[in-house]
Chain A
């Protein structure tokens, strides 16, 4: 087996290092160093996951301790995949995921680009911009309901100040068309700084010498931007997208506090729906199947993405 993962790893390790680290004591140290983490992850993440998978084939309900637990095979999965309401929540999640990432990447990158112009006091302003991200999402969601109140909140008055529209003429949370945007705006407000920080790190990692060389070749600023800046920042951006994507796929606290999933089911993201099934209806078996489907989805998407990311990095 010339292409086993072991071989690959061995090849990836520089010869000099490989020589150095052979020997029993090193191997022992390696295991001592890695084992606690792996053990903790197995205990707190993988074991519950396996348990969840097991439960997903049963009709178990935590709130009916006296009822017999039956194996129901794939029935939970069939019910979920055949339920049109769940596809609605998937759509809501996709909308949220797509637009938060697009907005955060655009604004975050632009901000980082500006900050990288090294104007005076840029350090201080960077720190200030980062503040929203340190708040608790549950508290943020809660306060944005307050800010979005057309009568007593700030948001509608600020919009009306800039556009002249009557503050009472629209309601961010109550309107079926605006509600999906209300959660996108709140999340973007909170997490754009995160994307900005990563982009900034990417921009700062580009050596000046590359631009200097380009300048010698008389490449225009515009050309430098597209041929140097963007490709060099891309791996960073993709990492930012990965982390934001994973986080927002799981989004629960901010939205549940902000809209409660309404109006109707317009902003009921999958995590909110899952919480209702698991902790309000107490359909443990059913919700376990639901959880497995979600996990497989995000795991699949992420592994494809990480492959792409590694390719970009190699270039």
Chain B
């Protein structure tokens, strides 16, 4: 083994490692608290002083997926012995299940809109980024800054005209409308990121392909696309994180049919007040898909975030 000047000493590594782990623990505390709250009973969730040790309960998860009505003890008796475990949990609160909650729908909307807009954004973004990277386009720099500038507008600022326009076009409160909207918002980021990646791919590859008789289009999807896969993957993570969690547009432009989960979760109510365990349960479940997606693509994440500016 040869000695390398850039390899840190084991003491440095030990120090660095423990500092990072310390930070990770502190930063995870709120997250762990959220997840733990999901498994508390409503009274444990707001216990004063806060409870670190508690009896786990699935009440939050049951409440998240059901609508319940509080009934008189007499009516409860008439309803008979609960047969299912979740019925039992609800009966213990002095209520009966009156139906399933909207959470499933909202979650499903998020899946359609989040992944749909990410996919569309990747298609449009890759094409545009390729063109910007390889072709002579008039006013290229200005167009690029124009694309970036569309991300600078506060959502509230354009939401009134968008609202009026969507209503005219019948896109208000539809999945398609939200997919188009999120795609537009994410396009700036994805064009900027992807252009960097494609810039990195040596142009000689395509030239070789062209000489071999490929058309320009074939060269694009047979040579460039596979090379840019890493970049596309990491860009997709960022687009998804945004579209998945977006709140301002969602709260203003969606209501009955196309509402996503973020405006819904903070407002889940239980008996009287806010149902903290159900809110926490909703937030936890909502975190899972994007977390899995990120863990699966984590190798690309680091490379992706370089915005293609890597100098090797």
Do A and B actually bind? Answer: yes
Which positions in A face B, CB cutoff 8 Å?
5-6, 8-10, 13, 16-18, 20-21, 25-27, 29-34, 36-38, 40-41, 43-49, 51-52, 55, 62, 107, 111, 114-115, 117-123, 125-139, 141-144, 146-147, 151-154, 157-158, 189, 192, 197-198, 200-202, 204-205, 207-208, 211-212, 215, 235-236, 239, 246, 249-250, 252-253, 257, 270-271, 274-275, 278-279, 284, 287-288, 291-292, 294-295, 298-299, 302-303, 306, 313
In the complex, the answer to whether A128 meets B28 with C-beta atoms within 8 Å is: yes
**For residues 213 through 231 of chain B, which have their beta carbon under 8 Å from a beta carbon of chain A?**
215-217, 220
Distance in Å: Cβ of A269 to nearest Cβ of chain B: 10
Chain B residues in the interface with A (C-beta under 8 A): 4-8, 12-14, 16-17, 19-21, 23-24, 27-31, 33-34, 37, 46-50, 124-125, 127-128, 130-132, 134-143, 145-162, 164-165, 180-181, 183-184, 187-188, 191, 203, 207, 210, 215-217, 220, 241, 244-245, 247-248, 251-252, 261-263, 265-266, 276, 279-280, 283, 286-287, 290-291, 294-295, 298, 301-303, 305-307, 309-312
Task: Tell me the bound Cα distance from A197 to B140 in angstroms.
Answer: 29
Contact of A132 among B27, B162, B215, B266 (CB under 8 A): B27
Cα distance, A21 to B251, chains bound together (Å):
46
Q: Known: A36-B124, A138-B265, A291-B154. Contact between A117 and B13, CB under 8 A?
A: yes
Chain B interface mostly helix, strand, loop or mixed?
helix
Closest-CB distance, A84 to chain B (whole angstroms) = 21
Q: Give the residues in chain B near A142, CB-CB below 8 Å.
A: 265-266, 279
A143 and B130 contact, Cβ closer than 8 Å, known pairs A21-B136, A284-B160? no
Distance A115 CA – B17 CA, assembled complex (angstroms): 7
Are A41 and B139 interface neighbours, CB within 8 A? no
Q: Are B29 and A119 in contact (CB under 8 A)?
A: no
Residues on the A chain within 8 Å of B217, using CB: 29
| Interface contact A10-B136, CB-CB below 8 Å | yes
Provide 9 A-B residue pairs closer than 8 Å at the C-beta atoms, listed in order of the A residue.
Answer: A45-B150, A46-B150, A52-B158, A125-B21, A138-B251, A205-B306, A205-B312, A236-B306, A253-B248
The interface residues of chain B lying within 8 Å CB-to-CB of A279 are 156, 159, 252
Bound complex: CA of A253 vs CA of B294, how far in Å?
A: 23
Most B Cβ at <10 Å: residue of A117, A132, A239? A117
- A119 touching B13, Cβ below 8 Å: yes
The answer, among B137, B161, B183, for a CB contact under 8 Å with A30, is B137
Nearest-neighbour CB distance to chain A for B260, whole angstroms, equals 9
Given A55-B160, A143-B34, is A201 in contact with B241 using a C-beta cutoff of 8 Å?
no
A21 and B135 contacting across the interface, CB-CB below 8 Å: yes
A129 CA / B161 CA spacing, docked (Å): 39
**15 additional A-B residue pairs with CB within 8 Å, beyond A38-B143, A142-B279:** A20-B203, A37-B128, A40-B184, A41-B146, A41-B147, A45-B150, A126-B302, A131-B291, A139-B262, A147-B30, A201-B306, A212-B5, A253-B248, A271-B248, A298-B152
